[in-house]
Amino acid sequence: MIERTLRAYVQQVEALHTAVRAFLLQLTNPSAASTLLEAVAEVAEEVPGLEAVEEGRASELADQVRRERAAKLAEDARALSQAAQALPPGTPVRLSGLERVLRGLGAEEQSLGFHARLAEEVAERFGAPTASGQSPEGGGTSEDRLPYSMDNFAYGSTPYASWLKVLTAAGTALTEALSPPGRQYVVYGSSCGWLVLYGALTFGWTSRGVEILRCLHECAERVAADVEAAEGGPIGASFACGDLLEDDASAAGLVLLADQCWDAGLQRAAVAKLARELPAGALVVSYSGAQLEALRLEGVEGRGERGEEGEGGEEGEGGEDGEGEGRKVGKGAGAGGRVFEELVAVRVPVSWADNQTFRVFRRV
């Protein structure tokens, strides 16, 4: 599998170089050619082993890719271990299980095969409809449900330390939300299971994820089964493959919406669902929060005008690592018939940004 992946990688880079060279030969403006060459050189610095490809040394490329992948996993493992060991005494964290999750999902995430399967399923199931109005997989029209665009399925991941910082910023509200018997931690858009497994292996929560893409759901189940085998039994994590809008959220004490790239229509429908189903005191974590805030503000008389993003509370200044201290924004909660009150917003690094804002709301 690794050899096939590397061959495909080399072929794609060689094709790119051939196309660029052909284009350069057609340029009559020396300045334009120089500018393009400079741009290509900048790209070359970001592509592992590009020089090795040009010189036909594919084995050197393979070695470099393996070294860089191993270095990234080692760095991620150190950060995870430091964050887990800093938890308060008595936290039922299972570090060996978390490390196994990191190794298993990290290897999947770094493989081109993983991303190829993801792209193939998204295109097959959610690509442009046919002339008859049917989806590519023949699933019929979307008259009875929201149509999901391909933009919903951009892949990204949130490091363990970032996830932990967001949740602990909620303070005692987090403990209160999950303390009643039977309460669950639920991730909608659970991808390959990172955030679900974090909850089960850190706090011992009954944790479950709902993911609509089969390839990601199957990946989550494989890694969870491997962790359970190594840990000697169930770890309290489960996964369902399906539409989050058809799930029952009534037992959830904490819901994490992986909604960074969701269509506005899906965001509205998900928030409306949570407003109907969540018990009072339940928390909702969102990468966006716009729809939770909009529903919270509907019908509130005399509310102040909100300006650009960041108003309504003082943003914490980011440190050298890019992390912010967050802002408290829940004053006056419960007035005006609001549905959700915002407790805190925290900025942390994620795979696609150095400063991603997470917003934590509570069902009133």
Query: Got the DSSP string for 95-129?
Result: HHHHHHHHHHHHHHHH-HHHHHHHHHHHHHHHS--
Residue found by looking up tokens 């419960």 in the block:
334
Handedness of CA 317, 322, 328, 329 (dihedral sign): positive
Residue found by looking up tokens 């009643």 in the block:
180
Is the domain of 196 the same as that of 311?
A: yes
Decide if 140 is inside a domain. Answer: yes
Residue found by looking up tokens 């170089």 in the block:
17
Decide if 17 is inside a domain. Answer: yes
How far apart are the C-alpha atoms of 119 and 123, rounded to whole Å? 6
Domain of 2 in residue numbering reads as: 1-23+34-83
Is the domain of 147 the same as that of 132?
A: yes
The tokens for 137 are 């997989």
Pairing status of strand 283-286 against strand 353-363: antiparallel
Q: Under 8 Å CB-to-CB from 55, ≥6 apart: which residues?
A: none
pLDDT digits (tens, 9 = 90+) for 59-85: 666 677 778 888 888 999 999 999 999
Is the domain of 149 the same as that of 18?
A: no
Stretch (H or E) spanning 297: helix 290-297
Decide if 182 is inside a domain. Answer: yes
At 64 the pLDDT is 72
Residue found by looking up tokens 């942390």 in the block:
348
pLDDT digits (tens, 9 = 90+) for 349-358: 999 999 999 9
Decide if 335 is inside a domain. Answer: yes
State the total domains in the chain. Answer: 2
CATH code assigned at 288: 3.40.50.150
Is the domain of 183 the same as that of 285?
A: yes
Of 296 and 143, the structure prediction assigns the larger pLDDT to 296
Is the domain of 141 the same as that of 53?
A: no
Is the domain of 110 the same as that of 58?
A: no
Is the domain of 340 the same as that of 318?
A: yes
At 336 the pLDDT is 54
Is the domain of 290 the same as that of 243?
A: yes
Decide if 29 is inside a domain. Answer: no
221 burial class (0-12, 13-18, 19+ CB within 10 angstroms)? middle
Is the domain of 66 the same as that of 120?
A: no
Is the domain of 161 the same as that of 63?
A: no
CB of 208 closer than 8 Å to CB of 240: yes
Decide if 107 is inside a domain. Answer: yes
Is the domain of 50 the same as that of 196?
A: no
Answer whether residue 99 shows pLDDT above 50. Answer: yes
Of 2 and 317, the structure prediction assigns the larger pLDDT to 2
At 212 the pLDDT is 96
Stretch (H or E) spanning 242: none
Is the domain of 75 the same as that of 114?
A: no
Buried b (16+ CB within 10 A) or exposed e, 251-282: bbbbbbbbbbbbeeebbbbbbebbeebbeebb
